[in-house]
Structure 1
Amino acid sequence: MRRATALPKPPAGQALPETHVWLTLRTLFPYLWQYRLRVLAAMACLISAKVANVGVPLVFKEMIDGLSGGEQLLALPILLLILYGTLRFSTSLFQELREILFARVTQRAVRQVSLEVFRHLHALSLRFHLERQTGGVSRDIERGSRSISSLISYTLYSILPTLVEIGLVLGILFVKYDMGYVVITLVSLLAYVVFTIKVSNWRIDIRRAVNENDSAANTRAVDSLLNYETVKYFNNEAWEARRYDEQLIKWEEAATRSQTTLAFLNLGQQAIIALGVTAMMWRAASGVVDGRMTIGDLVLVNAFLIQLYMPLNFLGIVYREIRQALTDIERMFKLLSENREIADAPDARDLPTGPLQVNFDAVEFAYESNRQILKNLSFAIPPGKTVAVVGHSGAGKSTLSRLLYRFYDVTGGAVQINGHDLRSLKQTSLRAAIGIVPQDTVLFNDTIFYNINYGRPEASREEVFAAARAAQLHDFIESLPLKYETRVGERGLKLSGGEKQRVAIARALLKNPPILIFDEATSALDSATERAIQTQLEEVAIGHTTLVIAHRLSTVMNADEILVMSEGRIVERGSHGALLAADGNYARMWTLQQQEKQEMESDTQ
């Protein structure tokens, strides 16, 4: 005899803490209460629809009893027929009115909660965004937003009318017949609810496993596609497919277990309903045989059983969906609970207008406690002056711009603007006063115009064109078929490195802030373009407080002061001429770069 295959056994079930339920409701309630009149009107429609729905079997019973006499045609109650049709229509009418009234409430709540999560993600520190995985976060938001809609719909929109209908049916059975019908119905309902809750809680870990593996697979897919060129460079398509499939196999196993245990849940629910229906019909049939009930009563009980069957079955679906929705929302709420590492102080103030001086005062900084980046760093950038920072990779140069933008807070000392510690200023005010051309320019998957205009969205088209001309970009754009409406592709991949860099320069020029940061701003440009843009950047920097972070020393020769960094410290400082005369680190770097330049020029001849 062949043994039956056992159901896959999930891990021990663990119900979500009640705090998650109340957290969800507390989060959603303010958004729902904005439309309190719509909510109350929708609730009234819900109750009216259920009252009309319960009234249909009562009218039908009277019609059956009326037709059971000797002169059926003469006794046919025309008014009952009209009432029957009216109640049928009223049920649908009130349901659709409920949909109309509640639709905006649900969608507005989803929109506002999603917006809150989106804003919170932008408010989190750079550290969080460097460590996150884009694919997993995007899937968590997508699934969580969809589940909020389901949660609102099921908890505030479906459970209440279902309970109202069950209450009405139980009341009618008790008043018109006897307590036995109520007991059978209540026992069936209680058994159904207990079974559904127990099995659904048993399945909760399987659902979590499905979500975890789904997010992990999506993360791998997005990460691989974002690095499409790298995959091609190393001929690793098969390797990426295997890695993706490894995660899909785990998802497949979890999803199969979820579907199998769902079938077990559905089978148990139907068995309970079948037993309850059989018991009720046996009692009703006995009443008809004994003469205590009419044929209409039998039909009424049967109709009530059918109407109870649907709410009972629906309650099971509702509970499963709520549990699944809470599992999905749990991950999204974790994003909302992420601590904002960098936050404005309660008494934070706006940055004063006028000429700005930047001071790094004995600054200490470490990304990790065991990895010190900056060590007792002090220097000043006077208003309208240009200070350049040079040094080998890993010296801590780019960290200066991140601290000035306050993506991180210093671990020692202070960064100040006009004597105000950055931690005492509003971040929006601070960042509005700074423009940057970063070393690694990433563009939005939109048009060239959009990406330049992003520097100051309220700027006119003429101002965007002027910024493009200043960045030596306008002629190139005009040579394109779609000109400024040309789309740049994902992360700007349709443009060359130099073209992307010029878009970034144009964007910073359009913003025209009092403080400018050029972080390897011309690193991706050829020598001819670099010289042209370098001249323009020097002109733009006039009157601005400017920090230039550079590797090529030829781009910082005209800076008012040059700082040479090594291992997080300033080891030399002075003008270009003074540093060459000192014959130290800067002079050696200059000599080496000049030799490399001469070798490249000789190779091209």
Structure 2
Amino acid sequence: MAFIASSSLSLPKVLLILNYTRSLYPGILLGIFLIAFITFGIINSPHDGDKITVHSMQGPGGRPLPTRRKSNNQIKEAVSTKDFSPRAKTAFAILTSGVILTFVLNGVATLIQVITYRSVDWWPGQSAILFIVGSFFCWGIVFISVIDTTPSPTWVHILTWSFALPFELVILGSALDIYTQPHNEPTVGDQLGGELRNDITAWEVFEVIVYFIRVIIILGLIILYTALKIAARKTRDTSSTPDETTQPLLGGTDASPRSNGHANGHTYGATHGSTPHSKEQPDAWAKPTETPIVTWYAYLKGFAVLLPYLWPRKSLKLQALALSCFCLMAAQRAINLLVPIYSGKITDALSGEDGNGIRAPWIIITLYILFRWLQGGQGILGAARSILWVPVEQYSYRAISTAAFEHVHSLSAEFHTGKRTGELISALNKGSAINSFLEMVTFNVGPMIFDLVVAIVYLTYKFDIYLALVVAIVTFLYIYVTIRLAAWRVTLRRNYTTADREMEAVKNDSLHSWDTVKYFNAEAYEFDRYRDSIKTMQGFEFFVEITLALMNTVQGTLFMVALLSVSFIEAFQVAKGYQSVGNFVTLLIYMAQLQAPLNFFGTFYRAIQNNLINAERMLELFKEQPNVTDKPTATDLQDCQGDIVFDHVNFSYDKRQPALKDFSFHCAPGTTTALVGESGGGKTTVMRLLFRYYNPTTGQIRIDNHDVSDITIDSLRRNIGVVPQDCNMFNESILYNLRYANQNATDEQIYSACRAASIHDRILQFADGYETKVGERGVKLSGGERQRVAIARTILKDPKITLLDEATAALDTETEEKIQDALRTLAKGRTMLIIAHRLSTIVEADQILVLSGGTVVERGTHSDLIELNGKYARMWRKQSRAQKAAVEADMLRKQAQRTEEAAGIDSASVSEEEMERVKGKRGGSGSGKGHKRVNFSQSSLGRTPAWNMSIDGGRPEGHP
């Protein structure tokens, strides 16, 4: 300021400096702020070090998967350490609003002067108007960022303020230099052509004072920011606990009791210092309970991970179609500019204002109609683009849906045991949402923004800066209001989407469990539950529609204000002879064209927001990562012999309760090991660990002296066959379900496997034989039939290791004997691991392990464990009594039938009475003396002689 005031520059040169500075100031300041703001968003987006990652994790096709971010609490704590306190933020907001107020004062003073000195055509010049309006707009954006972003203010703001200060000093110095020496008042078209002034006027004094106040406020912003940052740094350097005197002006510090200065590395984001009773991890794929806290860049980057699935990089044809669509889109942009221009030319030609007299412009009209034919989404170019984009869109949907489907199948068992199938299916159906999002951004929002930028440039070139400034300001306000109102509605939209998904989940779960509904006569309950879920969804939908109408009203009002402003300006210029009537028509048509995309921006933004909310669930699904994966150095298991070793294995589904504790055993190749014990003892866990559904916490599991973690999961599971207790089947034919075990199996091989499983003859009795549909999960088959099909599938797979989980639990005695013969054949040369509750089925096992509480409490052969007279022997005696009771009950029923035939009395009442008598006998001393005895033999699989057992449950003769 002092330099300019004391310089020897002439008045016209000083005025030129002032005009250039005021004209460039808003644009330069806005550009600096936007570039810094975008850079800040990119720099401060979560980096790999801030994420909870699983190393070397890849999705289908080897593409990288999104990684889990920090939890919301962690992000809030991290932000609180960088942000200012609410009191300090309020101070910054007040000072920034003070800067905006100074521009308002400048504008009001200018407007009053224009009205007061209208008779002498007083006008401050275009640069002054641009400076006031543009700076007000620019500082308004800075103010919005201060109150809307977190953390704020940041180095983005201090950089903006630091650049604004020298501009303001130059403007203040130039104004003083002009006003303090003789000068002419500015008039329309001539800044030095008005009345001569020998000294500074009251209006100029007011203007200089406002300039000076603005400089002081900006300087105060810089000083306050610097002082608080220095104070915060000193506080962190001197103490880990913030001083009470500095705490009100500073944000949170690293001394937060829940923050220890580094990110939590647990896969599921468990907080540090959790109590022993805290849950180790949330339920699999749990829905977030709060809105995610991420930066705009991190949000978009999350979806950018899905781009490799959507771009047809392996198809040159599809790439050529996509590029053709982009070229057509560019042509549409040019057509949008030509249509209003040719409308103005037609008007000028018909009115004679083009200098060629009144005439009919046939060629111009023809071109205008041609451009209209090509223009818009309903035009030829739009239709061609839509047709060409269909194969690309289909590829994108196919790729993302298939990738999500493959990814779900690649997830570990803990995900599948905790998921809700209905909600999962709903999320998988959202593949089109991501595709729609990308298409809308590419072909709707992107072109709209391009059209707005072109409009500002064209209006500046064709008309003047005032129209461009009005369009720029209103466009920003329109977009900002739309985003703010949409952000206000996002919770409602999210709740509506969640309620809609919950409604779908209720419907799917109910229909999926239809048999359970009928077992408990719960149809009315399910109807009410579904009806309530619809009411909840519609309640959120009601408020969504109301807020939508409000947003449309606000948007329309803003654009009408813009249209009114530009129409007044252009009408004045036409009346003064500065512009032609054709230009006025061009302006109106062009503004109408801009209104369409702006009106649709609300629709686009809502649709994009809706698609993003829908796609968020699929993106979260992609972020779910399997815990059981192949090591990079894993090798295939070749020539499996079936040697199994569990070496001091510990495992827990939840740290609060171990499932296996120091569990060890060895199963030699070709031998059979049985696992028995009470429910929850860890038997099924052993099979799950062996099949690598889970990894052990500590210890080793070895196959043929290879750690299973060093073997590829696929090769390990190829050598293991499983006969589960509950056999799920596809709703296809029996032949399809059988061939599922071996896709290359011949029909004769399938028949042989079914004969070995004693199911072949039963299948032939069905009306459609092997083509019989089994229903959902195989419900059309009985439990025994399903288990025999499962056994046949395992026989068809021909594995070296076979896992049987209560494989004969649902079979009758006669069928069980046939299955045992088949399993004995299957066991030859193979390693068998059997879970059994019916002990009669495992008496031939080479080794029996008795599990309790996740540990082996007894081990040995059947004879060894009976002689041990421990837990296994007690289980054997209990089952023996139950089997003897069943034998006698059968005998009593037959006797009751004979008595009924002879005497005509109720067999059921006799049977119950007789059974009560038998129960009374079983409650005796157990010595067997004086009681009726029946002969009871073991299953045909037993290797020891049959024993003569007493009805009262006495011990086997010859055994303790």
Partner in structure 1 of residue 26 of structure 2 = none
2-side partners of 1:129 and 1:449: how far apart?
A: 27
Q: Does 1:544 align with 2:830?
A: yes
1:131 deviates by 1.6
Q: How does 1:253-402 map to 2 (within 5 A)?
A: 253-402=539-688
Q: In the alignment, residue 136 of structure 1 is paired with which amino acid?
A: E
In structure 1, how many angstroms separate the alpha carbons of the residues matched to 2:481 and 2:633?
55
CA change 1:377–1:186 in 2 (3 A) is: closer
Q: CA deviation at 1:46?
A: 0.3
CA contact (8 A) 1:359 1:416 kept: yes
Q: 1:28 corresponds to which residue?
A: 307
- Distance in 2 separating the partners of 1:599 and 1:73: 117
SS in 1 for 2:659: strand
CA 271–496 in structure 1, closer or farther in 2 if over 3 Å, else same: same
Q: 1:184 to 1:351 in 2, by over 3 A?
A: same
Match of 2:360 in 1: 76
Secondary structure of the 1:371 match is: coil
The match for 2:764 among 473, 478, 487 is 478
Shift of 1:465: 3.1
What do residues 540-575 of structure 1 show as CA deviations (whole Å, max 9, x unaligned)? 111111111111122112222222223323233333
Instruction: Tell me how far apart the structure 2 counterparts of residues 439 and 149 of structure 1 sit (CA, whole Å).
Output: 42
Q: Distance in 2 between matches of 1:589 and 1:202?
A: 65
Partner of 1:46: 329
Structure 1 pair 460–277 and aligned structure 2 pair: CA distance change class (3 A): farther
- Shift in Å, 1:301: 2.2
**1:66 aligned residue:** 349
Task: Check the 8 A contact 1:211/1:328 in 2, yes or no.
Answer: yes
Among 849, 853, 857, which residue is 1:567 paired with?
A: 853
Q: What secondary structure sits across from 2:774 in the alignment?
A: coil
Q: What do residues 312-341 of structure 1 show as CA deviations (whole Å, max 9, x unaligned)?
A: 112222222222322222222222222422
2:425 to 138, 143, 154: 138
Q: Aligned partners of 1:13 and 1:357: how far apart in 2?
A: 51
CA-CA distance at 1:29 after TM superposition = 5.0
CA distance in 2, matches of 1:516, 1:203: 56
| Deviates most, 166-175 or 388-397 | 166-175
Could you say if the C-alpha distance between residues 292 and 14 of structure 1 is closer, same or farther in structure 2, counting changes exceeding 3 Å? Answer: farther
- Work out the CA distance in 1 between the residues paired with 2:866 and 2:339: 98
What code does the residue aligned with 2:410 have?
A
2:413 is the counterpart of 1:129: no
Structure 1 residue 22, shift from structure 2 partner: 1.8
Contact 2:482/2:555 (<8 A) preserved: yes
CA contact 1:14–1:201 (8 Å) conserved in 2: no
| Superposition deviation, residue 527 in structure 1 | 1.7
**Matches of 2:519 and 2:306, distance apart in 1:** 47
1:86 equivalent to 2:370? Answer yes
Secondary structure (helix, strand or coil) at the match of 2:306 reads helix
- For residue 603 of structure 1, what is the aligned residue in structure 2? 889
- Code of the residue aligned with 1:458 in structure 2: it is N
* 1:83 partner letter: L
Task: Give 1:429 shift.
Answer: 1.2
Report the residue type matching 1:559 in the other structure. A
Q: CA separation of 1:26/1:572 partners in 2, compared to 1, >3 Å: closer, same or farther?
A: closer
Q: 1:405 to 1:43 in 2, by over 3 A?
A: same
Residue 487 of structure 1 aligns to a residue in which SS?
A: coil
Bigger Cα displacement from structure 2, 419-428 vs 57-66? 57-66
Separation in 2, partners of 1:36, 1:552: 63
Q: Which moved more, 1:83-92 or 1:445-454?
A: 83-92
Report what 2:731 is aligned to. Answer: 445
1:17 corresponds to 2:295: yes
Alignment partner of 1:362: what SS?
strand
User: What secondary structure, in the 3-state scheme, does the structure 1 residue paired with 2:653 have?
Assistant: strand
Change (3 A) 1:483 1:281: farther
Q: In 2 relative to 1, CA 339–485 (structure 1 residues): closer, same or farther, beyond 3 Å?
A: same
Distance 1:461 1:314 in 2: 60
Deviation at 1:383?
Answer: 1.2
Name the counterpart of 1:178. 464
**Secondary structure of 1:368's match?**
coil
- The 5-angstrom pairing of residues 511-522 of structure 1 reads 511-522=797-808
- Flag structure 1 segments of 5+ consecutive residues without an equivalent: 1-11
What's the offset of the Cα at 1:14? 8.4
Q: 1:16: how far off?
A: 5.3
Q: Which amino acid aligns with 1:114?
A: S
Quickly say closer, same or farther: Cα 1:319–1:530, change in 2 above 3 A: same
CA drift of 1:385 comes to 1.6
- Secondary structure at the aligned position of 1:372 is classed as coil
CA distance in 1, matches of 2:308, 2:665: 52
Query: CA–CA distance in 1 between the matches of 2:603 and 2:368?
Result: 30
Moved more, 320-329 or 124-133: 320-329
Moved more, 335-344 or 275-284: 275-284
Tell me if the contact between 2:647 and 2:663 (Cα under 8 Å) persists in the aligned partners: yes
Larger Rg: 2
Partner of 1:6 in structure 2? none
Q: How does 1:165-204 map to 2 (within 5 A)?
A: 165-204=451-490
The alignment status of 1:576 with 2:859, answered yes or no, reads no
- Encode CA deviations 1:495-550: one digit per residue, 9 max, x unaligned: 22112212211221221111111110111112222211221111111111111111
Q: Which amino acid aligns with 2:361?
A: P
TM-score, length basis structure 1: 0.91
Shift of 1:64: 3.4
| Residue of structure 2 in register with 1:55 after alignment | 338
Residues 651, 696 of structure 2: 8 Å contact kept: yes
Aligned to 1:99: 386
Shift of the 48–594 alpha-carbon distance from structure 1 to 2, 3 Å rule, reads same
SS in 2 for 1:543: coil
One-letter amino acid of the structure 2 residue matched with residue 250 of structure 1: T
* 8 A Cα contact 2:309 2:400, kept in partner: no
Tell me the alpha carbon deviations over residues 443-496 of structure 1, each in whole angstroms, 9 at most, x when there is no partner: 222222222222122333333333233222223333333333332222222222
* TM superposition shift of 1:602: 3.2
SS at match of 1:367: coil
Contact 1:396 1:567 in 2 (8 A): yes
| 2:134 equivalent in structure 1 | none
What is the CA RMSD across the aligned residues, in angstroms?
A: 2.7
Contact 1:28 1:109 in 2 (8 A): no
Tell me if structure 1 keeps the 8 A contact 2:351–2:358: no
Contact 1:15 1:204 in 2 (8 A): no
Counterpart Cα distance in 2 of 1:13 and 1:453: 47
Going from structure 1 to structure 2, the CA distance change for 1:549 and 1:249 (only over 3 Å counts) comes to: same
Letter in 1 for 2:401: S
The count of residues paired between Structure 1 and Structure 2 equals: 593
Does 182-191 or 29-38 show the bigger shift? 29-38
Tell me: CA distance 1:177–1:362, structure 2 relative to 1, closer, same or farther (3 Å): closer
Check if 1:111 corresponds to 2:398: yes
> Contact (CA 8 Å) 2:720, 2:799: kept in 1 or not?
yes
- After superposition, the Cα gap between the structure-2 partners of 1:570 and 1:164, relative to the gap in structure 1 and judged at 3 Å, is closer
Matches within 5 A, 1:487-498: 487-498=773-784
Structure showing the higher strand proportion among its residues: 1
Deviations 1:56-82 (A, max 9, x none): 232233233333459x99943332233
Partner of 1:413: 699
Structure-1 separation of matches of 2:450 and 2:858: 81
- 1:586 maps to 2:867: no
Q: CA deviation at 1:284?
A: 4.1
TM-score normalised according to structure 2 size: 0.58
Measured in 1, the distance between the counterparts of 2:517 and 2:594 equals 58
Tell me whether 477-486 or 417-426 shows the greater mean CA deviation: 477-486
